[in-house]
Amino acid sequence: MDMQEEVEGLAILIRDLRKHKNLTLGELAERIDRSVGFLSQVERGLSRPTVADLTAISETLGVPTTYFYSLSKPRALRWVTRPDERRTLYYAGGITDVLVSPSMSAGFSMLESHLAPGASSGEGHLDDSSEQGGFVLEGALSIWLGDDPQAVTLGPNDSFQLPPHSQFRYANLTEQPTRVLWVFR
């Protein structure tokens, strides 16, 4: 699948889940504090949500963010994933997440997150119901936790762990790409 097919797949999942939950575009847009026009463009595959947008959508619709990776690619072994078998989400703001877990029904899920130079999870804080942690593979990841205006910057081989519903945002403030292995439980 190419990037446009992945974006369209995400659009379909969001739209179908919203309709299944009997929410109008306006109701969902209000709950995630975004415009109806923006949400309509996301549902038509014309715009990509930020990480913060998709987290807010998933929390509002009552599913984990990993729900949006559910269109799996065929695999030879159910407990192994190879690079060409993985689902990818392309976010606005320069972040690409690749689901590296073979299954989302296990006790945890793993993502490889690629942050372009200057990439950000969005202006708002994430409030994910999952416990999560990460390991910086390359580059630098800056994390703002709660209302603390001071970011903590992590480099290669640094790791972090956040409890459920931690209010945080993150970014790559450098001119080099960053890769992070995220684990969600």
Q: Give the residue from 69, 104, 124 where a domain finishes.
A: 69
Q: Are residues 156 and 113 in the same domain?
A: yes
Q: Are residues 101 and 130 in the same domain?
A: yes
> What is the structure's pLDDT at 1?
58
With beta carbons less than 8 A apart as the criterion, state whether 108 and 183 touch: yes
> What is the structure's pLDDT at 127?
85
Q: Are residues 36 and 93 in the same domain?
A: no
Burial of 5: CB neighbours in 10 Å, binned 0-12, 13-18, 19+: exposed
Q: Are residues 45 and 92 in the same domain?
A: no
In this structure, what CATH number is given to the domain that contains residue 175? 2.60.120.10
Q: Are residues 51 and 109 in the same domain?
A: no
In this predicted model, what pLDDT tens digit does every residue of 12-42 receive, in sequence order? 889 988 988 889 999 999 999 999 999 999 9
> What is the structure's pLDDT at 94?
94
In this structure, what CATH number is given to the domain that contains residue 27? 1.10.260.40
Q: Are residues 106 and 155 in the same domain?
A: yes
- If one counts the domains in the chain, the total is 2
Q: Are residues 57 and 87 in the same domain?
A: no
Share of the chain above pLDDT 70, in %: 95
User: What is the 8-class DSSP label of residue 86?
Assistant: -
In this predicted model, what pLDDT tens digit does every residue of 147-182 receive, in sequence order? 889 999 999 999 999 999 999 999 999 999 999 999
User: What is the 8-class DSSP label of residue 92?
Assistant: T
In this structure, what are the phi and psi dihedrals at residue 17, rounded to the nearest 5 degrees?
A: -65, -40
- pLDDT category of residue 74 using cuts at 50, 70 and 90: low
Amino acid at 148: D
Q: Which domain holds residue 122?
A: 83-184
Burial of 139: CB neighbours in 10 Å, binned 0-12, 13-18, 19+: buried
Is there a domain that residue 92 lies in?
A: yes
Q: Give the residue from 41, 69, 97 where a domain finishes.
A: 69
User: What token pair was written down for 83?
Assistant: 């690079």
User: What token pair was written down for 135?
Assistant: 């390991």
Q: Which residues touch 172 (CB under 8 Å, ≥6 apart)? A: 94, 115, 116, 117, 118, 119, 120, 139, 140, 141, 142, 178
Q: Are residues 21 and 50 in the same domain?
A: yes
Q: Provide the whole-model pTM.
A: 0.76
